[in-house]
Amino acid sequence: MVAAVLTTILPALLVLPLAAGGLRAEPRQVILVRHADKDVDRGDFNLSPAGLLRAIRLGRLLPACFGPVERLGSYGFNPGSQKNARSYQTAVPLAVATGLPIRLFSGGEDDSPAAPADLRQDPWLAGRSVVLVWEHRRLPALAAELGWPAMAAIADDAFDDLVVLRYDGAPGQPPTVTRHQQSALLRQPCYQRAVSPLPQVPLP
């Protein structure tokens, strides 16, 4: 008798967390970040000193102003030439601050895809708050894969913006999109009062 009851009830209990608002099949929030500043005159693929400072600020800013980061990913780079290494370098301070591993997406080669296919449905993102640091020419394709095909091209010298996609509607619906200037957020209380293992660095 007891065994029969358990056989009936247990499967239903296992389904309840999802039916009651467990992890969604798509992300809760995705923050899209262009890699930090470069020095074109230097002729390498690393961040400039200004870019390193920006990356440290982002490592403090993102959790403080947008809530805990649960997943962290970066556009891949070519391990031979180091091409596109700036995206990974930009993500490192946030990884240090949060203890998260950086998921390195395939990329870095000239013939690599601009964005992973079906990324919005990837279980790695499901129900999570995610930060993706990307190569700027490929960011619009990434945004389109995540449900926002209207992202404009990014100027080569534009480093200050970040975009937040929120998935508050029914699955498959377009996300709510907000754009922010990092320079404005750095002057908000959420950043000014941030508690972080990362050091304070001068504002730009």
CATH number for the domain harbouring residue 171? 3.40.50.1240
Paired residues of 104 in beta bridges: 74
pLDDT (0 to 100) of residue 114: 75
Q: What pLDDT sits at residue 15?
A: 33
Q: What ranges make up the beta strands (E) of the chain?
A: 29-34, 71-74, 103-104, 129-134, 161-166, 176-181
Give the domain range for residue 172. Answer: 23-192
Handedness of CA 28, 158, 36, 196 (dihedral sign): negative
Instruction: Fill in the amino acid letter for 141.
Output: A
DSSP state of 1: -
DSSP letters spanning 117-132:
TTGGG-TTTTT-EEEE
**Is 137 part of a structural domain of the chain?**
yes
Assess if residue 201 is contained within a domain. no
pLDDT of residue 24: 61
Q: Does 114 reside within a domain?
A: yes
From the number of C-beta atoms within 10 Å of its C-beta (0-12, 13-18, 19+), residue 13 rates as exposed
Asked whether residue 108 is domain-assigned, the answer is yes
Q: Quick check: is 45 in a domain?
A: yes
pLDDT along the chain (204 residues), means of 10: 42 36 78 96 93 98 98 91 92 98 82 80 96 95 96 96 96 96 98 96 93
Dihedral angle sign, alpha carbons of residues 7, 13, 18, 23? negative
The domain total for the chain is 1
> How confident is the model at residue 110, as a pLDDT?
64
Flag whether 6 is in a domain: no
* Residue found under tokens 């990974």: 88
Are 92 and 102 in contact by the 8 Å Cβ rule? The answer is yes
Q: Is residue 11 part of a domain?
A: no
Q: 9 in a domain, yes or no?
A: no
